[in-house]
Amino acid sequence: SQTIHQWPATLVQPVGSPLSLECTVEGTSNPNLYWYRQAAGRGLQLLFYSVGIGQISSEVPQNLSASRPQDRQFILSSKKLLLSDSGFYLCAWSPPGGSFVHVEKLFFGSGTQLSVL
Partner 1 sequence: SQQGEEDPQALSIQEGENATMNCSYKTSINNLQWYRQNSGRGLVHLILIRSNEREKHSGRLRVTLDTSKKSSSLLITASRAADTASYFCATDDRGSTLGRLYFGRGTQLTVWP
Which of 12, 15, 60, 103: binder of partner 1 (CB under 8 A)? 103
Establish how many alpha carbons lie within 13 A of residue 26's alpha carbon, considering only the half-sphere containing its beta carbon.
5
Is residue 115 involved in binding partner 1 (CB under 8 A)? no
37-56 residues in contact with partner 1 (CB under 8 A) are 41-44, 46, 49, 51
Q: Which stretch binds partner 1 (CB under 8 A): 11-19, 66-74, 79-87, 105-113?
A: 105-113
Q: Minimum distance between the CB of residue 39 and partner 1, rounded to whole angstroms?
A: 10
Q: Map residue 97 onto helix, strand or coil.
A: coil
Q: What is the dihedral of CA 20, 7, 55, 43, to 10 degrees?
A: -100
CA gap 38, 40 in Å, rounded: 6
Q: Is the dihedral of CA 100, 103, 104, 108 positive or negative?
A: positive
Is residue 57 involved in binding partner 1 (CB under 8 A)? yes
Binding site for partner 1 (CB under 8 A): 6, 32, 36, 41-44, 46, 49, 51, 57, 59, 88, 90, 92, 94, 97-111, 113
